[in-house]
Structure 1
């Protein structure tokens, strides 16, 4: 009988248990990056009018979101996903949420729908980032 059999390493067990959850959260994060990236590129004119934002901004965001989504897929496919990688993705998401709120406060041209959209996506991205931290904590 060894000390490890009496006192198993809890972090290793927790890490293996949280990895599937972290992969699901990262996969959802990547999917949203791809969906929004494509929507911003393909519907930039319509969304610019609806949200009250410059069309060029939406096109730029669309171009940005596609490789970010690919990067998040690459992280989600790693086995195991390291804590550092999950924290890096979470940090990027928190930075995006904070930037969105700054834009909300600074942009005078946002429509009501645009304000609602910015707030909703900032909250959603912050929640995803928090889940990435929670599930990545033991990774």
Structure 2
């Protein structure tokens, strides 16, 4: 479990980070929902980069799934549970990380909670979804 404490100015930092995502193109291993979005938000708010040991070690969905398996994780949910405490979606607050489960190679996609919505980064681009679309959430600090 990571020892995450939000910086005093985490909120303006987070919203500046989210605003910068509009121009980001999806790229596995560097600019994806974990390495760029979730880990980037966590680093912005806390100064700790949870993706540092994994960034650049995969280049597509298949190699991401294989890396998770090699590290002993069944998918993104399992990886996130090893880093942050899980919380019910209804208890998620701004800056927490949400998981939207699906049947892809890594078991879903991650997003950042920004209130009643989640910022997501998918292969088709950046957007938002309703928070209620998330299956679970993970507390950041």
**Per the shorter chain, which TM-score range?**
0.3 to 0.5
Say which structure, 1 or 2, has more relative contact order (CA 8 Å, 6+ apart).
1
- Structure number having the greater helix percentage: 1
